[in-house]
Amino acid sequence: MKAYERFLKYAKMYTTSDERSGTHPSSSIQFDLAHCLVDELKNMGISAECDEYCYVYATIPATEGCENVPAIGFIAHMDTSPDFCGENVSPRIIENYDGEDVELGEGRVLKRADFPHLAELKGRTLIVTDGKTLLGADDKAGIAEIMTFADTLIKNKLPHGKICIAFTPDEEIGEGADHFDVKRFGADFAYTADGDVEGGIEYENFNAAGATFEINGFNIHPGSAKDKMVNASLIAMEINSLLPADEIPSKTEGYEGFFHLTDMEGCVERATIRYIIRDHSAESFAKRCELARQIEKQINEAYGEGTVVLTLKEQYRNMEEKIRPCFHVVETAKRAILAAGLEPIIKPIRGGTDGARLSFEGLPCPNLGTGGYAFHGPYEHITVEGMDKAVEILLGIVRLYQE
């Protein structure tokens, strides 16, 4: 079975995470995919299990003569982003894609004007959404590629050291490493298959935090409100105005950090606004978090103590400092990509992966491309050929370490 065939199956399974649930996993529906993967792995003859937190762990012992080869891990996440609908996903396959605009449905069009790389995908088999949901290539493509890699390894009796596989829940809400058992996993180092274009390697990522401002107002009849009413929704707007207007996702790129307003709700009496804070530089990241604290202080000084309560939660850190001392993980991936006939694409992640946190827990873990594009929305797409190359790269990494 090819990687895309597995992907089509996984994509239809509803696994959206829920950052407000307070449970682990954040949504019980993720167990459906976890149990499916455990069954598939066992059918391949691979030892696998799912724990109480919805983490799937599997191990392929080293082949004879390769017992001293480093134990390599491969990781992908099962949940899809809560940013857009992930239920009732209905992927559509376009064979011999012509490189032009694609009518998706719901009035949405996958346009070359918005995604210039589409011209380079001409002639490939393109997988798109029906315009109603995201596709789930982030990161069910990574899962499908790891599963196909493992199946190929077993069926072809390829020589290899110990292979460790894990599929995690809740990566999309920054909790994918919360209950990851590094010791149980058993790898010396690992790769997450959670990037975009095939041939990509990422070992620098944002430092990340979530910031929630809870605002308490005072409601009274507007006719008698002078010097009494405190409008929580207006204060929410004031808080946003105190953040730098140009430091938002739509106006930044590369190594530039940002404040991103993700959602807001409120009325006169109460309001809540939520942000994610991102920066590659640890120093700049600390300054951003401090600005949020200063805004809380400023608003409380103006309207009274307790008007605003800020909750800051660190989500992950830039893994570069943990990757540099064992840079062979990046160099080997580059060699595997070149051997697959591609040019390595190395760039910083404007986001994060499970590997960012795992690198700080003693498991160096750069990120590899899966062949997907435009994640987290209805314009998400991927190619069959890109997925095949991603599998080839995983096999190449194992071959190079075995040699």
CA distance 83 to 239: 23
Separation of first and last alpha carbons in the chain: 27
- Which one of the listed residues 171, 279, 380, 388 is annotated catalytic? 171
CA distance 373 to 116: 11
- Which one of the listed residues 79, 145, 175, 380 is annotated catalytic? 79
What residue type is assigned to position 82 of the chain?
P
Q: What backbone phi and psi angles, to 5 degrees, belong to 222?
A: -60, -25
For this structure, is 138 an active site residue? no
For this structure, is 170 an active site residue? no
42 sits in which H/E element: helix 30-43
**Do strands 207-216 and 56-60 pair parallel, antiparallel, or not at all (unpaired)?**
unpaired
**Dihedral sign (CA 382, 384, 389, 390):** positive
| Residue found under tokens 């929704």 | 233
Q: Write out the two tokens for 330.
A: 């990046």
Q: Spell out the alpha helix ranges (H) of 156-188.
A: 182-185
Q: What residues are annotated to the active site?
A: 79, 171
